[in-house]
Structure 1
């Protein structure tokens, strides 16, 4: 009986977290699945089965939304991994101002996404924006960054990378600093250079940091909405429409059940991509 009471006493410490998790995550998740099969308003609902899902997949811009979502997620993920790793290596080297530089790199992460979107939207204006004005000083005619259908999505993606690379860098700094000094000493004895240190020690032994950055950046890219909406509202045309912006437009139109079905589809889409990716990355991880 004593062991049973001890076990109950231990589980009591988990109870508050379990209640909060259930109320904030579990219950809304099941409610979303239910209301995705209804036509609902704030005061009424009617069960209609899978009609919302059928209607959502008939959305004209959905195929473009899926493609843009995937492209956006891959571009932002790759750039955050590469730049985060390079900045992490630089900011763990023996430079006197690395503390200050770490703050500078991480600062954009703390700024409101909407504020960043509005600011860069103004900076990327084709005629009065700071970027094209600066290029004009060197005789270069800048493009319409957010009005060109071929450039708009990539332009927003680069802003996303600027804002989020600081978080990736912090993860890499932690991963690089956790590598034991013995590896560097052994490499120095063997006559290795800086490239050997980077490629043979830092890259493989910071694999756990890389995996974390890949998963977090990829999920963030697949779910991205606020920055895209603040900068382009899905335009020009459907050039920067992603799944989340299509769902938001359904909410704006008052099609709440249809939009809820879209959220369920987005949840399944993200899970279907991220779950196997996570399992694959975990199998490739190197233990120190």
Structure 2
């Protein structure tokens, strides 16, 4: 009887969180799967089966959207890992202003994504932008950062990296500081240098932090929309179109059922990539 009472008592604490999770996540997810099989408006709906999915896969820019989504996610997540790790190592070293520098590095994460997109789209203007004006002072003709189909996606990815590397750095700082001091002392006894410390201690033993940054950044990259839309709206042409921007264009056109089907496809696409990746990365972690 006592065990039953303790179990019920425990579930009472879990109940509020479970209700919030069901209302905010489970119910909208189930409704999305259902309405993806319908042609719906705000007033009524008609069940049409898998027609929305067939129509969505016939979208002319879908192939480009999938390719751009994967490129964008791979570039942003890999660069956040590299720069986040390097900044994490630097900001856990013996520097006098590291608390201030940590705040500076993290600050872009707090700024609105739309505001960042608008600001950088002006900075990257081909003639009046700050970047090209600075390059002109050095005698270099700057490119059309957001108007050239060859570099537009990478230009937006650069802004994403600048904005998101602060969070990656904080995660790496926590991971590096969690490494037991005994490893550093053993390295000093063996006469190891800074490179040995980085490669043989920090890199392998901060693997949980690395995995967290990879997963979070990759999910964010696969689902990215607001920064891309505020800077290029998917242009020029389809050069920066990703799956999320294609879905949004369907919503703009009033094809709500089609757009909902696209959201379901995006959800399954992200899950199919991230779940096995997460399982693989977890198996490679080193126990401290």
C-alpha deviation, 1:200, in angstroms:
0.2
Encode CA deviations 1:87-114: one digit per residue, 9 max, x unaligned: 0000000000100000000000000000
Aligned counterparts of 2:9 and 2:72: Cα–Cα separation in 1: 48
Aligned equivalent of 1:210:
210
Aligned equivalent of 1:41:
41
Encode CA deviations 1:149-183: one digit per residue, 9 max, x unaligned: 00000000000000000000000000000111111
Aligned equivalent of 1:6:
6
Aligned counterparts of 2:76 and 2:278: Cα–Cα separation in 1: 17
Aligned equivalent of 1:185:
185
Aligned equivalent of 1:275:
275
Encode CA deviations 1:8-57: one digit per residue, 9 max, x unaligned: 11111100000010000000000000000000000100000000000000
TM-score (norm 2): 1.00
Q: Which runs of 4+ in 1 moved over 2 A?
A: none
Matched, 1:102 2:102: yes
Aligned equivalent of 2:141:
141
TM-score (norm 1): 1.00
Aligned counterparts of 1:43 and 1:287: Cα–Cα separation in 2: 56
Aligned equivalent of 1:93:
93
Encode CA deviations 1:121-169: one digit per residue, 9 max, x unaligned: 0000000000000000010000000000000000000000000000000
Tell me, which stretches of 5 or more residues in structure 2 are unaligned?
A: none
Aligned counterparts of 2:198 and 2:15: Cα–Cα separation in 1: 45
Aligned counterparts of 1:138 and 1:279: Cα–Cα separation in 2: 48
Tell me, which stretches of 5 or more residues in structure 1 are unaligned?
A: none
Aligned equivalent of 1:24:
24
Q: CA RMSD in A?
A: 0.4
Encode CA deviations 1:211-264: one digit per residue, 9 max, x unaligned: 000000000000000000000000000000000000000000000000000000
Aligned counterparts of 1:138 and 1:246: Cα–Cα separation in 2: 39
Is the partner of 1:13 in helix, strand or coil?
A: helix
Aligned equivalent of 2:234:
234
